[in-house]
A = this chain, B = another copy of it.
Amino acid sequence: MPEVQSQNTVGLVESSTFLFDQPLALACGETLNAYELAYETYGKLNSTGDNAILVCHALSGTHHLAGYYSEDDPKPGWWENLVGPGKVIDTNRFFVVGVNNLGGCHGSTGPTTINPDTDKPYGPDFPMVTVTDWVESQNRLTTKLGIEQWAAVIGGSLGGMQVLQWSIDYPERLRHAIVIAASSKLTAQNIAFNEVARQAIRTDPDFHDGHYYEHNTIPEKGLRIARMLGHLTYLSDDIMAEKFGRDLREDTINFDYGIEFQVESYLRHQADRFVGTFDANTYLLMTKALDYFDPATEAGSSLSAVLSKACADFFVLSFTGDWRFSPQRSHEIVKALHDNDLNVSYAEIESHHGHDAFLLALPQYLSVFGTYMDRITSECTK
C-alpha cells in the first residue's frame, strides 16, 4: 500500500492561496501593495472555531506540513512526523494551518514572483522581510480564515521566533505559544554562519547581484555551500560520529578530491537536493530575518519587558544536543516568561541529534509534546 493511503497520514492535500490587497508596511520601511500567501489546512475547524493551530516554518520550510501532493509523491510534508491523524498535532482534533512566509519560494509572494511594477521577478528588489512582518501577514491570514483566536501557534527554530513575536504583537489572538528549539535572538556565532552562507551565494558569479533569473542561471555553487554548511550545523558532532564516523565510501583512500568519506557524500547529496528546489534570494532573505530577530530591542534590550505584553500559556522545548539553538537560549526565554508570571512549561529533550531534532519522531519529544497537546484539546469545544 502506498504511504499516502496509510491511516497515519493526512493523505492527499492541496495548497491554497489568498490574495491580500491591503498594503503591508514592512519593518524595513518599504511597503508591499499586494501579496499572496500560500497555505495548507488539515482537519476541520470546529463549530466555535477554538481548535485552530498555526504552524510557522523555519529557514527552508514551507506551508506543506504533512501529506502528499499526489499518489506517487515520494516525500510527505516536512512535519509529517508530528502532524496527522492520531499524531502529536492531531488532525482529528485540530484544524491545522501551515503558511509559506512572505519572501518564500513555494507559493507566497517572494523574489521569484513577478513584480507588477516591472513585469519581471522581484529578485533582489524584493524587500527585506522580518519576523514581525511575517506575524503581521499571518495575522491577516488568520482573519481571512475566519479564526478569532488560535488554540496554539507552534514553530521550531525560526518558526519558534515567529511564535514569540505572535505572543508579543497579538497576545489575545493565541491561547498557547509553543516555542521549539528557538532563541530570542541569534548569537554572534549564528550570525557568522549565516554570513558565510550569504557570502557563498552572493559571490557566486551566477548570482548576478540577485538578477540571475534574467540571466537564466542559478547561483548553484553558492547555494550548495550554504546548504552543506547548514546541514553540517544542524547535526551534532555526536550524531555525525554515529551516522558517518570516518567511514570511507570505498574500501580504500584514493588520495584525490573525489568523495573519500561517507560524510562528504551526505553533504553533496543534501546540496544536490536543495539546489533544484530552493531559491537563493529567498535563502538570503530568510537568513537576514534570523539575524535581525531580537524583539527585546523595542523594550530597552529587556526580553522580560517586551514579553510583558504576552498573555498566552507557553510551552518551551529544547534539545540537549542542539548547539545552534542550545538549551541555554530556551532558558533565557523561560526566565523572561517567569519574570512575567506567565504559565510556562519547559521540556529539555535528551537528544544527540542536534538542531534537526525538532523535526524527528523522538519518543521523549513526542511524549511530552503530546501530553501538552492533550491539555489544549481538553480546552477546545467538543
**Which residues of A come within 8 Å of B, CB atoms?**
27-29, 127-128, 185-189, 191-193, 195-196, 198-200, 202-205, 221, 224-225, 228-229, 232, 235, 237, 240-241, 243-246, 253, 255-257, 260-264, 267-268, 284, 288, 291-292, 294, 323
Chain B residue at minimal CB-CB distance from A209: B257
- 10 closest A-B pairs (Cβ-Cβ)? A28-B255, A188-B240, A203-B221, A188-B244, A128-B255, A188-B263, A189-B237, A192-B232, A195-B264, A189-B240
Partner of A128, one of B127, B185, B256, B288: B256
The interface residues of chain B lying within 8 Å CB-to-CB of A284 are 257
**Alpha-carbon distance between A72 and B96 when the two chains are bound, in angstroms:** 68
Interface contacts beyond A188-B261, A191-B263, A202-B257: sample of 6 additional A-B pairs, CB < 8 Å, sorted by A? A185-B246, A189-B241, A195-B228, A195-B261, A195-B263, A199-B224
Dominant SS among interface residues on chain A = helix
Among A196, A199, A221, A232, chain B packs the most CB atoms within 10 A around the CB of A196
Asked if B195 and A224 make an inter-chain contact with CB atoms under 8 angstroms apart, the answer reads no
**Alpha-carbon distance between A241 and B74 when the two chains are bound, in angstroms:** 42
**Alpha-carbon distance between A195 and B261 when the two chains are bound, in angstroms:** 10
Partner of A195, one of B196, B267, B292: B267
The interface residues of chain B lying within 8 Å CB-to-CB of A196 are 225, 228-229, 232, 267
User: Would A193 and B224 be within 8 Å (CB), given that A187-B240, A284-B257, A294-B246 are in contact?
Assistant: no
The interface residues of chain B lying within 8 Å CB-to-CB of A193 are 232
